[in-house]
Copies of this chain bind each other. A is one copy, B any other.
Amino acid sequence: MAKGRRSTRRGKVTVVGIGPGSIDHMTIRAIREIRAADSIVGFAFYIHQVRSVIRPTAKVYSSGMGHEIDRASLALKLASRGEKVAIVSGGDPGVYGMAGPVIETANKLGVKVDVVVVPGITAATASAATLGAPLMTDFAVISLSDLLVPRNRILERVKAALKGDFVLVLYNPQSRARKEPLRLVHRILMRYRKSSTPVGIVTAYARRGEKTIVTTLERMLDYEIDMASTIIVGNSSTKTFNQKILTPRGYYSRS
């Protein structure tokens, strides 16, 4: 009887943003969606992060790094059987996260289930919060991962953003195996921005080993930078004081 009821229920995939590193930075809605799910699908690292809010009776499908399309396909398959599925996605699912793969895969496979995206705190704003207020003027978010995007396009984007005097937020700045893009970007930054431009490096925000560095463009490569780091590079008006980075929005210059 219970089984019969289940198969007529319309399935649903909820792509849940779990924020930058601890339950503390999850929204009420994100927690509720995970608790309500029949099945949880996700990268093992993120599953671990939300373990304490998963119902003990829920089925958990965790997998290794990468495999985004496999996870999306699995979630859609479970949902097409009538299940309520939550896919957990670090930070915000719409910023280099699982929202795209799920929506694109649903379309490719022609699966007719509801897909809902629940936003989460993304690394740009989490890092900015710990650094002070570097994003108070217009900013550009750029991923330095050249796995899916040609390296030249990344460099062209950096140049365009510098031309617009945007504050830059660099996601996925480097990994053990991929150090070249950050070097190339740094060379461009040094050409177009003052070497004293404030730079913030936030690693493992709200996680064990969290580290915040306030430095300058000239010295930024002296610090440890990895896949858990986010880098914010100030624009022409960004300043540093008391180990905080601020890009003034003009409240004082106006008055």
A31-73: CB near B (< 8 Å → 1, else 0) gives 1100000000000000000000000000000000000110000
Within 8 A of B (CB), among A113-145: 115, 117-122, 125-126, 128-130, 132-143
Ranked 5 nearest A-B pairs via Cβ: A160-B164, A100-B136, A148-B250, A117-B129, A99-B133
Number of interface residues of A (CB under 8 A): 78
Asked whether, in the complex, the Cβ of B166 is within 8 Å of the Cβ of A160, the reply is yes
Which residue in B100, B118, B121, B251 is a CB contact (below 8 Å) of A68? B251
A209-251: CB near B (< 8 Å → 1, else 0) gives 0000000000000000000000000000000011010111111
Residue of B nearest to A66 (CB): B251
Chain A residues near B (Cβ < 8 Å): 17, 19-20, 23-29, 31-32, 68-69, 92-97, 99-104, 107-108, 115, 117-122, 125-126, 128-130, 132-143, 147-149, 153-154, 156-157, 159-161, 163-166, 241-242, 244, 246-252, 254-255
Q: A104-B251, A129-B119, A248-B100 are in contact. Are A161 and B136 (CB under 8 A)?
A: no
A119–B68 Cα distance when bound, in Å, is: 27
Asked whether, in the complex, the Cβ of A165 is within 8 Å of the Cβ of B161, the reply is no
Which residue in B97, B120, B140, B149 is a CB contact (below 8 Å) of A166? B140
Residue of B nearest to A140 (CB): B140
Asked whether, in the complex, the Cβ of B119 is within 8 Å of the Cβ of A120, the reply is no
Which residue in B92, B142, B149, B163 is a CB contact (below 8 Å) of A163? B163
- Residues from chain B with Cβ under 8 Å of A121 in the complex: 27, 92, 119-121
**Closest CB-CB distance, A144 to chain B, in whole Å?**
10
Can you list 18 residue pairs at the A/B interface with Cβ under 8 Å?
A23-B28, A24-B29, A92-B125, A95-B125, A95-B135, A100-B246, A103-B132, A107-B241, A108-B252, A117-B129, A119-B121, A135-B141, A137-B143, A138-B140, A138-B154, A140-B164, A147-B254, A164-B164
